């Protein structure tokens, strides 16, 4: 595991808390990157202390482009917008020039590391052009968006959903998407603002559950200075090394404001500070055991460029470790797509982002998306209903298994990941067997495995055993989706649904919210084209199957693709869910 420990200086009463953080890190011999806000560069005593720490301990000095709406900055730009990524392009350029010039004047060099809660494509381009010495940046907050917005009483306008959870090579036109190759790469190595709990990130507000001890205190997942969860989360990140060629990454970035007088923490300052020190001490213990290496941010960027090729996929086996509920989610990310499988619901897709479509994303007052930096989804079972629990089901996938007039839904059967393998550029998953029982006494066991490659998910279903070997069961691969960036429906007008039979004949519907259906008894594919995203989502099969397309209606605004085939014991059906960019 590689650790980046990041600090941010403060003025006034919090100056002593920053000094305390520095003393803790230096006493433990940990490498530190200090990201410095613009206003702090005007404080001679703080600047002198930073230069001394740089000389004595090797602290890396960089820039924090977070909250910039200070009185000093407002005088220059006459705009109280607090965050760089939300300014106009012209203001972004002027702010970057101003801050870089001040940093160079004060510290005598250009920064090699910078950070912000988000750096959109235009901000990153301007930074790279203006200061090519910058090697790395904090560029986004993993899955901060709708749920954090609601959790902050609808006041935190940061929308970074659909991005990587670990380090990545940001694409030039969308910094929250991994670049396909070096030609598309923006030139910096990006890391997330904190490393989040990927089980709780999917289910709820994840700014409570990250590599930030005080955030965990805010979630009340501690008892005084005792918080086993935050240490277990470190170990869960270490666990991912076995799936990612021996590599895992973690960062810690706790502002001084969290260590004293925080209104969000119920514990005493002494308990909070002890927990922070104990947390840093755990990294030292891991380092002594040979399980961890601490680096500055720019050192890590150089290591990453030497060891991780542009375009490489990352995976994460997310086990729920706080509540003990046994939930498990699997995440994979590549330049083609980001995929989340929900093992609690039969291994169905819970979240799917179409990176292969290379959708551009620039935020700011002069852009069409404004604050919405999130990457659109094609499936999102948390925001858009998922498995039925009130009116009807919504955005999700599943396997429907029919026997006579009865149909069982695999999403109602929790499964486990039994095997994860990587071969070349493909990822292979094997799930535990699903045991289903019908009311007529027939029972069956179904084995599911997945192959993930690029923008393709191959789904293998084997009817392993049936209690009555003569009984045939109908297996239906079911995909119900929509597109969006929040929990509210976007327009599906203009969306085209198409089903194609084995002779190549097509039947299509243009989405008009009329609830229509088209189907073929022997077909090869069912697909949907979303012109807003220039994206096609297709469900294809290797063998002739019955296939259908279903148009939703306003009270159930989704598209549905399905293919089905009757199987007997020992037979299997293989389908492929794939994403294509269509101009």
pLDDT score of 249:
98
Residue 108 DSSP one-character state: S
Q: Which tens digits make up the pLDDT trace of 276-295?
A: 999 999 999 999 999 999 99
pLDDT score of 517:
98
Neighbours of 130 (CB within 10 A): 15
Closest CA to 6 of 191, 166, 235, 144: 191
Could you give the CA distance from residue 411 to residue 344 in angstroms, rounded to a whole number? 8
Residues 6+ apart with CB under 8 A from 168: 178, 189, 190, 314, 333
CA distances from 160 to 143, 192, 196 (A): 6, 10, 13
Could you give the CA distance from residue 566 to residue 569 in angstroms, rounded to a whole number? 10
Closest CA to 527 of 547, 544, 556: 547
Give yes or no for residue 75 having a pLDDT over 90.
no
Could you give the CA distance from residue 420 to residue 74 in angstroms, rounded to a whole number? 52
Give yes or no for residue 98 having a pLDDT over 90.
yes
Q: What percent of the chain has pLDDT over 90?
A: 96
CA atoms within 13 Å, Cβ hemisphere of 218: 20
The rounded mean pLDDT for the chain is 97
Give yes or no for residue 342 having a pLDDT over 90.
yes
Could you give the CA distance from residue 124 to residue 137 in angstroms, rounded to a whole number? 9
Q: Which tens digits make up the pLDDT trace of 34-48?
A: 999 999 999 999 999
Which single residue is written with the structure tokens 């959903």?
161
Q: 246 — alpha (psi -120 to 50), left (phi > 0) or beta? A: left
8 A C-beta contact, residue 335 and residue 179: yes
pLDDT score of 389:
82
pLDDT score of 563:
98
Q: What percent of the chain has pLDDT over 70?
A: 100
Q: Cα angle at 188 between 76 and 103, to 5 degrees?
A: 35
Instruction: Categorize the per-residue pLDDT at 102 as very low, low, confident or very high, splitting at 50, 70 and 90.
Output: very high
Question: Average pLDDT, stretch 514-538?
Answer: 98
Phi and psi torsions of 23, nearest 5°: -60, -40
H-helix segments, 162-321? 198-203, 213-218, 228-239, 269-288, 297-307
The 3-state secondary structure of 305-325, one letter per residue:
HHHCCCCCCEEEEEECCCCCC
Which single residue is written with the structure tokens 């009463």?
13
Question: Average pLDDT, stretch 133-145?
Answer: 97
Question: Average pLDDT, stretch 453-479?
Answer: 98
Question: Average pLDDT, stretch 402-427?
Answer: 97
Give yes or no for residue 69 having a pLDDT over 90.
no
> pTM to 2 decimals?
0.97
For each of the domains in the chain, give its residue range(s) and CATH number, in order of start.
2-319 (3.20.20.510), 336-581 (2.70.98.10)
Could you give the CA distance from residue 240 to residue 246 in angstroms, rounded to a whole number? 8
Give yes or no for residue 204 having a pLDDT over 90.
no
pLDDT score of 77:
78
pLDDT score of 78:
79
Residues 6+ apart with CB under 8 A from 199: 318, 319, 320, 321, 327, 328, 329
Give yes or no for residue 70 having a pLDDT over 90.
no
> 573-583 as b/e, with b when 16 or more CB fall inside 10 Å?
bbbbbbbbbee
> 76-103 as b/e, with b when 16 or more CB fall inside 10 Å?
ebebebebbbbbbbebbbebbebbbebb
Closest CA to 70 of 84, 90, 51: 84
Give yes or no for residue 74 having a pLDDT over 90.
no
Which single residue is written with the structure tokens 């290379």?
358
Q: Which tens digits make up the pLDDT trace of 363-412?
A: 999 999 999 999 999 999 999 999 988 899 999 999 999 999 999 999 99
Instruction: Categorize the per-residue pLDDT at 206 as very low, low, confident or very high, splitting at 50, 70 and 90.
Output: confident
Neighbours of 492 (CB within 10 A): 23
Q: Which tens digits make up the pLDDT trace of 210-245?
A: 999 999 999 999 999 999 999 999 999 999 999 999
Residues 6+ apart with CB under 8 A from 202: 143, 318, 329, 340, 342, 350, 351, 382
């Amino acid at each position: 595991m590689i650790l980046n420990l990041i600090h941010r200086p403060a003025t006034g009463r919090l100056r002593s808390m920053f000094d305390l953080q520095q003393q803790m890190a230096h006493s433990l011999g940990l490498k530190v990157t200090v990201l410095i806000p613009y206003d702090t560069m005007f404080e001679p005593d703080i600047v002198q202390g930073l230069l001394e720490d740089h000389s004595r301990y090797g602290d890396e000095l960089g820039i924090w482009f977070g909250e910039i709406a200070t009185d000093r900055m407002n005088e220059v730009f006459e705009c109280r917008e607090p965050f760089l990524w939300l300014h106009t392009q012209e203001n972004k350029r002027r702010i970057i020039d101003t801050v870089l010039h001040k940093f160079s004047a004060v510290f005598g060099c250009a920064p090699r590391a910078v950070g912000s809660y988000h750096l959109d494509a235009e901000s990153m381009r301007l930074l790279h052009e203006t200061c090519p010495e910058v090697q790395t940046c904090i560029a986004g907050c993993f899955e901060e968006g709708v749920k954090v917005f609601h959790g902050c009483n609808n006041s935190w306008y940061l929308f970074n959903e659909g991005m990587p959870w670990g380090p990545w090579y940001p694409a030039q036109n969308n910094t929250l998407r991994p670049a396909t190759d070096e030609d598309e790469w923006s030139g910096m190595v990006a890391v997330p603002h904190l490393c989040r709990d990927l089980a709780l990130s999917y289910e709820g507000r994840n700014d409570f559950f990250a590599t930030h001890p005080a955030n965990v205190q805010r979630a009340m997942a501690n008892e005084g200075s005792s918080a086993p969860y935050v240490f277990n989360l470190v170990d869960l990140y270490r666990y991912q090394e076995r799936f990612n060629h021996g590599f895992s990454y973690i960062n810690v970035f706790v502002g001084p404001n969290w260590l004293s007088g925080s209104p969000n923490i119920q514990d005493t300052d002494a308990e909070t500070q002890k927990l922070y020190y104990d947390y840093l001490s755990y990294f030292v213990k891991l380092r002594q055991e040979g399980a961890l290496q601490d680096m500055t941010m720019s050192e890590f960027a150089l290591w990453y460029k030497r060891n991780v090729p542009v375009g490489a996929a990352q995976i994460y086996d997310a086990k729920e470790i706080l509540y003990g509920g046994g939930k498990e989610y699997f995440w994979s990310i590549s330049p083609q797509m980001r995929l989340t499988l929900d093992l609690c619901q039969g291994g169905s897709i819970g979240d799917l982002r179409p990176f292969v479509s290379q959708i551009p994303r620039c935020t700011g007052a002069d852009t069409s998306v404004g604050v919405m930096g999130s990457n659109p989804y094609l499936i999102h079972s948390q925001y858009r209903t998922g498995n039925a629990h009130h009116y009807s089901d919504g955005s999700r996938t599943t396997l429907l298994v029919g026997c006579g007039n009865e149909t069982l839904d695999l999403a109602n059967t929790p499964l486990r990941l039994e095997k994860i393998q990587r071969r070349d550029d493909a990822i292979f998953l094997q799930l535990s067997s699903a045991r289903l029982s019908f009311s007529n006494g027939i029972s069956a066991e179904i084995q599911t495995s997945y192959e993930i490659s690029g923008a393709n998910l191959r789904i293998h279903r084997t009817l392993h055993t049936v209690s009555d070997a003569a009984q045939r069961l109908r297996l239906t691969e079911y995909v119900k989706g929509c597109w969006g960036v929040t929990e509210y429906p976007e327009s599906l007008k203009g969306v085209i649904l198409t089903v194609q039979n084995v002779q190549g004949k097509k039947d299509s519907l243009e989405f008009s919210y009329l609830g229509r259906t088209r189907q073929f008894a022997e077909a090869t594919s069912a697909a949907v084209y979303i012109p807003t995203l220039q994206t096609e989502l297709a469900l294809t099969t290797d063998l002739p199957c019955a296939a259908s397309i279903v148009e939703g209606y306003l009270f159930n605004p989704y598209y549905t693709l399905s293919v089905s085939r009757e199987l007997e014991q020992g037979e299997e059906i293989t389908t492929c869910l794939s994403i294509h960019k269509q101009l």
